[in-house]
Chains A and B, each alone.
Chain A
Amino acid sequence: MDKPIDNRAWFLALPVVLIVAFNAIVPLMTVVNYSVQDTFGNNEFFWNGIGWFQELLDPTTDLGGRFFDSLGRNALFSAIILAIEVPLGVLVGLCMPKKGPGVAFTLVVMALPLLVPWNVVGTIWQIFAREDIGLLGWIVNHLGIDYNYTLGPLSAWITIVTMDVWHWTSLIALLSYAGLRSIPDAYYQAAKIDGASRFAVFMTIELPKLRRVLLIGVLLRFMDSFMIYTEPFVVTGGGPGNSTTILSIDLVKLALGQFDLGSAAAMSIVYNLIILAACWLFYTVMTNVDADRDATRVEA
């Protein structure tokens, strides 16, 4: 089967290329230009070479310090929500009904949080968790637990993590549910004949079959949590102090609050590179794990 590959079809993608050029490449080039210069406004720029990068990557400077701090917070945030959402999502997926009238109802309920816009989720939790009028905050405080997300860093972190778990666990749950539904019944029957325990069934049948969807889920949740802006911004605005200032919030403060275009540009380039590398890594692992499995299956 030697079918000639005609790459001329790529010309059909030309309109998209033009649109992307205007809304992504030109701004990105501008960011690169800004990152090597300093400005005091009025479109007057002064050459600064790699000065901003030098400062950004030096943790002893103001800029470097806040960059590494918010990078660390962001990594911590992503790690926490992945550690909670993935196991919880799988568990919920396992518990969802597979047939009967409950299926449609459960699916709708599970999909609801995913349909709520980010800023609305933020506003809901901002009010829900307030200690004076919010249902959650008021109850927790009346139970004798000191909880105030505008004053306590720990309370603020618990609030934004819980909010993210509330918003996105459904995604993992629905993905695992779909993955579980695609496992043929024969596997379960064979396990039953072998007298496998529920745990063994999960470890040897369900989890391996879920690998692909879970990789996609982890990838989506990692990228999204690493770039999250709206929800923490609405709830805590990066506070109290800087305790929930993650990269995107810090970047906006730097670029639009202080209008330090040079350092903000350098920061966004490094931020961008980290995300690009993580994306590539996940994508490569994801596609090749499957390829490896297909190859072994063919050999077997």
Chain B
Amino acid sequence: METAWMAWTWQTGLFFMLLAGVLTVMTLLAIFKPETERVGVLRIPTTRGDRLFISLLCAAFIHLIWIYLMGSDPITTLPIGEEGFEVTSVWIASLISLGLAGVIFRWV
């Protein structure tokens, strides 16, 4: 099957594999530890899946808002590979998203 038109990169591949992994884990959890709805600080009943969805959606918007407000200046270069791995400030948005996901899973 010809897949050149899909233009895969290892970065997007990794991203989708992580996403698929998270979905698989959540599905397995749903099978072996069935979830119940609960009402959190938003006063809406949410299940684990709902909280994952909210976290992912928030993560997407946090990244967009970060790029809009802060841009993506390089912070540092990690000594990986020949040219080094440039770390931009967008990774801070990723950390914020991860933290927020924790908050959402705990309190929403």
Contacts and interface: CB of A to CB of B under 8 A. Distances in A.
B9 A37 contact: yes
B45 A291 contact: yes
Nearest to B43: A288
A227 to B, nearest CB: 18
Given A47-B11, A273-B64, 12 more contacts: A7-B30, A29-B6, A30-B6, A32-B12, A32-B16, A33-B8, A36-B11, A43-B5, A47-B9, A270-B64, A273-B57, A276-B57
Interface in A225-273: 270, 273
Interface residues of A, number: 27
B34 interface: yes
Interface in B66-103: 67-68, 71-72, 88, 90
Nearest to A8: B31
B41 interface: no
Contacts of B88: 50
B57 A280 contact: yes
Interface string A1-44: 00001010000000000000000001001101110110100010
Given A32-B15, A273-B57, A273-B60, A57 B68 contact: yes
Nearest to B16: A29
B61 interface: yes
Interface of A: 5, 7, 26, 29-30, 32-34, 36-37, 39, 43, 45, 47, 50, 53-54, 57-58, 270, 273, 276-277, 280, 284, 288, 291
A53 B53 contact: no
| Residue from A33, A50, A291 with most neighbouring chain B CB atoms (10 Å) | A33
Interface in B36-63: 43-45, 53-54, 57, 60-61
Contact of A54 (B8, B30, B61, B67): B67
| Complex A-B, nearest 3 residue pairs according to Cβ-Cβ distance, in ascending order | A57-B68, A43-B4, A45-B7
B3 to A, nearest CB: 9
Contacts of A36: 9, 11-12
A285 to B, nearest CB: 9
B57 A33 contact: no
A277 B9 contact: no
A185 to B, nearest CB: 35
Given A30-B6, A50-B90, A54-B71, A273 B12 contact: no
Contact of B67 (A43, A47, A57): A57
A60 to B, nearest CB: 12
Contacts of A277: 57, 61
B7 A37 contact: yes
